[in-house]
Structure 1
Amino acid sequence: MKDILNPSDPRVIRTRNLIVDAFAYLLKIKDFNSITINDITNKATINRTTFYAHFPDKYALIDGYLSNSFIEFVYRRVESNATLNEETIKNIVISLCEFHEASNKRCMKSYDSISPHLEKNTKIQLENFLSQLLTKSCTESARRSLDLAITMLTWSIYGVTYRWNMDGRIESPQVLAEKILPMLKGYLEHKIN
C-alpha cells in the first residue's frame, strides 16, 4: 500500500505530519522503547493501516524523523561550497554539539533509548558531508584512499561531541571545538595538501 501513496499529495503530507508530530510529542513524555504503534495512532488520530501505509514500523519512523536533522544544523554554519579546513571542522563540531543539545531537549524522556538511532543517522550524514568536502580538496588518486580517513574523522568528531553531551556540556561548543582542533590539525594538513 505504501507504494501507491503520492508523496506530494497534500493529504499524504498532512497525514505523515500528523504521525511525525504525534511521535515527537510521545518522545518527550515516554521512552522510545515503550512507545507503541497504538500510542502513535491514537495521538495522531489515525488507524493502524494508515500508519503502516506511511511507515513499516516505529524504527522506520525514528529513522525518518532523524534523517536530515543533523545536516540542517551543519548547513547553518558551513557554506555549501566549503572545503575541509580548520574553520569548517570547528563549525562541524559546534553544529554537532548544538544538534546533541537540541535532540536532548526534543526527546527528553527518550534520549538514551534513541541515541543508537541518532548515532547511526548522524554518522551517515556526517560521513557523506565529509566525503563531499574531502573530495573537493584532494587529488583524484587520493580519493580512492579516503574511506578509512572519513570514517576515522566521522567517528572521532561524533564520539567527542557525544561524550561532551553525556558529560553535561560543561564547556561551550566553541571551547570544545578549539580543544580538539589541534588533534585534527595534522590530519587536515596532510589531507588538504
Structure 2
Amino acid sequence: MVHRQEKDPRVIRTKKLIQDALMTLVQKKDFDDITVKDISEKATINRATFYAHYVDKYVLLDDMISEGFDSCVDSRILPGQELTETTGKELILMVNEYHIAFFEQWRMDTKTIAVRVENIIKSKLENIIATLIKNQNTGISWNNTDQQILTTMITGAIYSASLVFIKNGNKHDFDRFTERVLAFVLHGMNAMISDVHNLSQKNN
C-alpha cells in the first residue's frame, strides 16, 4: 500500500512541492526558524497535507538528504563489488559530488542541517563500505569488532577529507586529492587485513 502510494503521481508531485518550498526558504532563513506553516504556505498546500506526507520538518529534511545521496550512489556501486582502487575512487567522487551539490543548495551554517547531513551520509556510506569489505576475497574471517573498526575508519577518512577539501581545497587538485585519500584507505585496509590474517595464523 505504502509502496503504491509512493509511486502515485499526485503524491510525488506534492512531495516535490514541499521539498522545493523548504529548499527556497532555507536560502533566506535559518532552518531552525522555519515552521511547517512557512513550508505549507510556500508550497501552496495546507498543513494537513504536509502532515500527510511528513511527520515534521526534520523528517522532511532527512528525506531530502537521503534522496540526494541515493541519487549519487545509483548505479555506481554494483552488487557483489569489492573495495578496490576502482570502487574506492567511485566512493570518493560520489561523496565529493554530494558535498558540492549540497553546499550549492543549502546554507550549511545551520548546525542542525550540518549534523543531520553528517549522521545520515556517514551511516549510508558505512553500509556501502561494510558490504564492499564483506565481498573481499581475503581468505580471513572477520569478527564484528574488527570489521566495524575498519569500516568506521574508512568512512571517516573519505567523508571528513571530502568535507575539508570542499571547504578549503583547490578544485583543480581533485585528482591529487583523490589519489591521496585512496592511498590512505587502501593502505590502511591492507594493513589491517594483514594484521587480522597474522593473528588468525597465530591462534591456529
TM-score band, normalised by the shorter chain?
0.7 to 0.9
Aligned residues: 188
User: Is the 8 Å Cα contact of residues 123 and 158 (structure 1) preserved in structure 2?
Assistant: yes
- 1:123-168 C-alpha deviation (Å, 9 max, x unpaired): 0110111011111115572153311211111112111111112225
User: Is the 8 Å Cα contact of residues 93 and 161 (structure 1) preserved in structure 2?
Assistant: yes
Structure 2: which amino acid aligns with 1:167?
N
Q: Secondary structure at the match of 1:141?
A: coil
Structure 1: which amino acid aligns with 2:121?
T
CA distance in 2, matches of 1:32, 1:169: 29
- 1:60-113 C-alpha deviation (Å, 9 max, x unpaired): 110000113224323464444421012221221122111111111111xx2222
- Structure 2 runs not aligned, ≥5 long: 198-204
CA distance in 2, matches of 1:163, 1:86: 22
CA distance in 2, matches of 1:94, 1:143: 29
Please report the RMSD computed on the Cα atoms of aligned residues, expressed in angstroms: 2.5
Q: TM-score, normalised by structure 1?
A: 0.84
Alignment match, 1:151: 152
> Is the counterpart of residue 187 in structure 1 residue 188 in structure 2?
yes
User: Is the 8 Å Cα contact of residues 93 and 173 (structure 1) preserved in structure 2?
Assistant: no
CA distance in 2, matches of 1:83, 1:143: 18
Alignment match, 1:135: 134
Alignment match, 1:19: 18
Q: Secondary structure at the match of 2:117?
A: helix
How do residues 1-150 of structure 1 correspond to structure 2 at under 5 angstroms?
A: 6-75=5-74, 77-107=76-106, 110-113=107-110, 114-138=113-137, 139=139, 141-142=141-142, 144=144, 145-150=146-151
Query: Quick one: higher RCO (CA 8 Å, sep 6+), 1 or 2?
Result: 1
Distance 1:140 1:19, change over 3 A: farther
**CA displacement at 1:6 relative to structure 2:** 3.4
Q: Which has the larger radius of gyration?
A: 2
User: Is the 8 Å Cα contact of residues 80 and 135 (structure 2) preserved in structure 1?
Assistant: no
Structure 2: which amino acid aligns with 1:59?
Y
**CA displacement at 1:169 relative to structure 2:** 4.4
Q: Secondary structure at the match of 1:185?
A: helix
Alignment match, 1:178: 179
Structure 1: which amino acid aligns with 2:98?
F
Structure 1: which amino acid aligns with 2:116?
H
- Structure 1 runs not aligned, ≥5 long: none
CA distance in 1, matches of 2:114, 2:172: 21
Q: Secondary structure at the match of 2:141?
A: helix
Greater shift in the superposed pair: 37-46 or 12-21:
12-21
**CA displacement at 1:43 relative to structure 2:** 0.8
User: Is the 8 Å Cα contact of residues 68 and 125 (structure 1) preserved in structure 2?
Assistant: no
CA distance in 1, matches of 2:160, 2:128: 17
Greater shift in the superposed pair: 42-51 or 17-26:
17-26
Structure 1: which amino acid aligns with 2:177?
L
